[in-house]
C-alpha cells in the first residue's frame, strides 16, 4: 500500500480551537459488530433535540477522531441544533486511512470498518432514542470515501451523505480477490488508478458496484452532495465526474444537470443539480486543491439539521417521498 499520497492529506487540515461546553467521549462499551475494531468517539451536546438526528463524521488519512472533532464545526453546530456526532477512529494504524478496498467493507453486513461504524450508529440510536430516519454521514478525503461507502453499502441506515474531495463508491476496490487466501492483504489498499483519474468507466459499471454492495435491495436511496477542487493533486478532479456518473446511475437520473449555478457558495464554485427533488448536487471548485474548505453550513442544510419547526425533513425517510428508490 502506497501511503505517500495519503500522507500529504494528513498534514493539510488545520485544526481549529473548539469552544463548546460538552466534550467528546470515548465509548468503550462493546458493540454488536465491530470486526476491525474501529475506535468509537461520540459527541453528545448538553441539550439534545427530541429524538435527535445522528451525524457520522469520519476523519481523513493520517487524522483521527479527535482531529475531526477539533478540525470541523460540527460539534459547535451540534451544541446549537441538538444532534449527536459520531467520530469513528480508523484502526488502520499504518496510515489511518479507512478501509475502502476490502470485499468486507464494501458489502452490506459483511464486515470491515463500515460495519463497525454502522454498529456505532445502532448503539447511539438505542442509547439516546435517536431518530433512525435521520442518520447522515459527511467527511473529507478518506472521510469522504467512507461517507460514500456507508451510503452505498448501507442505504437502509443513512438518509444522505456529503462528500468533500472523495471518489466513487468502490473506486479503491482491491484488484480481483478471487484467489487471495490472506484477505487482510485486501484491507486499506491505496487505489492508485482511481486516485490519479486513470480509472474511468460507464455510469452503469459504477452503479453496479453500489448495487452489488447490497444485492436484492430495492428500497429508498440516500441523497448525495459532492464537492471537489479542480486542482486536486491527491485525488484528481477526473474522479469527480466519475462520482457524478455513479450516483446519477444509482438514482436513475440523466447525466445532464437540471440546473447549473455559478459562484455558489463561493466565487468560482459551480453547483450542478441532477434529477428530481434535489437528490444529487455536485459542486466543482475552480482552482481548489485537495485541501478543500468544508462548507459546514451548507452540509447541515443539506441534511436539514439546522431546520426548526414542523416542516423539516419532509424529503426524508418516512416522509412523503418514502418510496423513492
Catalytic (active-site) positions: 141
Q: Give me the 95-124 binding string for ligand NAG, x by CB under 6 A, dash otherwise.
A: --------------------x--xx--x--
- Kindly give the pairing relationship between strand 160-164 and strand 84-89: unpaired
Question: CA 108 to CA 116: how far, in whole Å?
Answer: 11
Nearer to ligand NAG, 276 or 297 (CB): 297
Task: Look up cell 475506535; give the residue.
Answer: 39
Q: Output the CA–CA distances (angstroms, integers) from residue 230 to 165, 190, 285, in the order listed.
A: 10, 21, 6
Nearer to ligand NAG, 187 or 207 (CB): 187
User: How many Cβ atoms sit within 10 Å of the Cβ of residue 14?
Assistant: 8
CB of 231 to ligand NAG, least distance (A): 5
CB of 118 to ligand NAG, least distance (A): 4
25 lies in the site for ligand NAG, by CB under 6 A: no
Task: Look up cell 453550513; give the residue.
Answer: 297
Question: CA 314 to CA 136: how far, in whole Å?
Answer: 15
Sequence-ordered strand ranges (E) for the chain: 24-26, 39-43, 54-56, 84-89, 135-140, 160-164, 223-229, 259-261, 269-274, 280-285
Nearer to ligand NAG, 122 or 270 (CB): 122
133 lies in the site for ligand NAG, by CB under 6 A: no
Q: Sheet with 223-229: list strands edge to edge.
A: 24-26, 39-43, 84-89, 54-56, 135-140, 160-164, 223-229, 280-285, 269-274, 259-261
Q: Dihedrals φ, ψ of 249, to 5°?
A: -70, -40
218 lies in the site for ligand NAG, by CB under 6 A: no
308 lies in the site for ligand NAG, by CB under 6 A: no
Half-sphere CA count of 264, side-chain side, radius 13 A: 12
Applying the rule CB under 6 A, the residues between 169 and 188 that interact with ligand NAG are 176, 178-179, 182, 184-185
Q: Which of 197, 203, 241, 268 binds ligand NAG (CB under 6 A)?
A: 197
Per CB under 6 A, the segment of 4-12, 64-72, 214-222, 234-242 that binds ligand NAG is: 234-242
Nearer to ligand NAG, 188 or 281 (CB): 188
Q: Which of 64, 90, 124, 236 binds ligand NAG (CB under 6 A)?
A: 236
CB of 233 to ligand NAG, least distance (A): 5
Using DSSP's 3-state secondary structure scheme, residue 5 falls into helix
Nearer to ligand NAG, 273 or 298 (CB): 298
> Among residues 243, 240, 276, which one has the least CA distance to residue 257?
276
Nearer to ligand NAG, 46 or 277 (CB): 46
231 lies in the site for ligand NAG, by CB under 6 A: yes
Q: Cis peptide before 39, with omega less than 30 degrees from 0?
A: no
Number of residues that bind ligand NAG (CB under 6 A): 20
153 lies in the site for ligand NAG, by CB under 6 A: no
Per CB under 6 A, the segment of 18-26, 45-53, 236-244, 252-260 that binds ligand NAG is: 236-244
CB of 297 to ligand NAG, least distance (A): 4
- Kindly give the pairing relationship between strand 24-26 and strand 39-43: antiparallel
Cell reading at 185: 492483504
Interaction site with ligand NAG (CB under 6 A): 32-33, 115, 118-119, 122, 176, 178-179, 182, 184-185, 197, 231-233, 236-238, 297
Amino acid at each position: 500500500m502506497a501511503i505517500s499520497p495519503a500522507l500529504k492529506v494528513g498534514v493539510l487540515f488545520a485544526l481549529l480551537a473548539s469552544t463548546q461546553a460538552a466534550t467528546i467521549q470515548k465509548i468503550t462499551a462493546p458493540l454488536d459488530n465491530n470486526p476491525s475494531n474501529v475506535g468509537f468517539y461520540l459527541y453528545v451536546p448538553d441539550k439534545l433535540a427530541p429524538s435527535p438526528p445522528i451525524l457520522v463524521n469520519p476523519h481523513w488519512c493520517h487524522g483521527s477522531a479527535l482531529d475531526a472533532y477539533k478540525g470541523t464545526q460540527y460539534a459547535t453546530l451540534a451544541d446549537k441544533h441538538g444532534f449527536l456526532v459520531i467520530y469513528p477512529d480508523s484502526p488502520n494504524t499504518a496510515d489511518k486511512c479507512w478501509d475502502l478496498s476490502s470485499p468486507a467493507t464494501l458489502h452490506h453486513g459483511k464486515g470491515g470498518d463500515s460495519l463497525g461504524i454502522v454498529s456505532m450508529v445502532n448503539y447511539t440510536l438505542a442509547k439516546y432514542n435517536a431518530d433512525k430516519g435521520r442518520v447522515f454521514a459527511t467527511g473529507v478525503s478518506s472521510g469522504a470515501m467512507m461517507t460514500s461507502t456507508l451510503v452505498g453499502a448501507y442505504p437502509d441506515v443513512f438518509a444522505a451523505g456529503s462528500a468533500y474531495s472523495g471518489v466513487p463508491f468502490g473506486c479503491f476496490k482491491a484488484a480481483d480477490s478471487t484467489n487471495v487466501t490472506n484477505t487482510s492483504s485486501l484491507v486499506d489498499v491505496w487505489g492508485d488508478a482511481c486516485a490519479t483519474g486513470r480509472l474511468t468507466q460507464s455510469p452503469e459499471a459504477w452503479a453496479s458496484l453500489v448495487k452489488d454492495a447490497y444485492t436484492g435491495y430495492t428500497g429508498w436511496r440516500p441523497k448525495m452532495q459532492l464537492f471537489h477542487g479542480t486542482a486536486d493533486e491527491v485525488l484528481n478532479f477526473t474522479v469527480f465526474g466519475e462520482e457524478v456518473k455513479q450516483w446519477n446511475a444509482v438514482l436513475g437520473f440523466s447525466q445532464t444537470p437540471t440546473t447549473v449555478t455559478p459562484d455558489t457558495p463561493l466565487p468560482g464554485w459551480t453547483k450542478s443539480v441532477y434529477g428530481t427533488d434535489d437528490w444529487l448536487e455536485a459542486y466543482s471548485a475552480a482552482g481548489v486543491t485537495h485541501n478543500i474548505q468544508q462548507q459546514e453550513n451548507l452540509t447541515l442544510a443539506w441534511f436539514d439539521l439546522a431546520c426548526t419547526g414542523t416542516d423539516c425533513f419532509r424529503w426524508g425517510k418516512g416522509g412523503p417521498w418514502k418510496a423513492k428508490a
